[in-house]
Amino acid sequence: MGFGLNNHLAVWKLIPEEMKRKLTATYENYGDGAIIWAGTKEDVFVHFSNIRNLVCLAGVKGNVIDAYTELLLSEQDVLAAGVEFPEKSYFFTNICLDMAKHTSVTSRDKYIEIHMRAADDVR
């Protein structure tokens, strides 16, 4: 596929020059399979091809979502240090957004409670 990133891409324009140089050098040395970031879990990696997809506004894969979630959780751990009951963060699909905005508080709370329990063991 080749490097394929340049200033014609809106996101690429926003990346600092030093980071652009690092990404370019990484691609030249390792190609699409280069691991740009590795998480603490065995299967959470962000590859160069994932970065290219983000910059090109293409699809986001599950490993990128897992990586972002891991970063958010580590940030939350830092912010919650020393807090007796730290808050939890939850993500939900925007398919639920319309229901959450336009139903009664009781119906919404019941819906969310049921689905949060069901999603508890899901990635």
Rounded percentage of the chain residues whose pLDDT exceeds 70: 83
Reported as a pLDDT band with limits 50, 70 and 90, residue 18 is very high
For position 90, what pLDDT does the model report?
63
Kindly provide the b/e burial profile for residues 18-48, where b requires at least 16 CB atoms within 10 angstroms of the residue's own CB.
eeeeebeeebeeeeeebebeebeeeebbbbb
**Average pLDDT over every residue of 77-95:** 68
Task: Report the candidate in 69, 70, 67, 87 with the shortest Cα–Cα distance to residue 79.
Answer: 87
Q: Is the pLDDT of residue 16 over 90?
A: yes
Per-residue pLDDT for 82 more than 60?
A: yes
Return the pLDDT at 8: 86
Whole-angstrom distance, CA of residue 75 vs CA of residue 89: 11
Task: Provide the pLDDT confidence category of residue 29 given band limits of 50, 70 and 90.
Answer: very high
Provide the residue ranges of all domains of the chain, joining segments of one domain with +.
Answer: 1-86, 90-123
Are 75 and 68 a contacting pair, CB within 8 Å? Answer: no
Task: Kindly state the average pLDDT of the residues 20-35.
Answer: 89
Question: Which pTM value belongs to this model?
Answer: 0.58
pLDDT tier at 115, thresholds 50, 70, 90 = confident
Joined tokens for residue 11: 């996101």
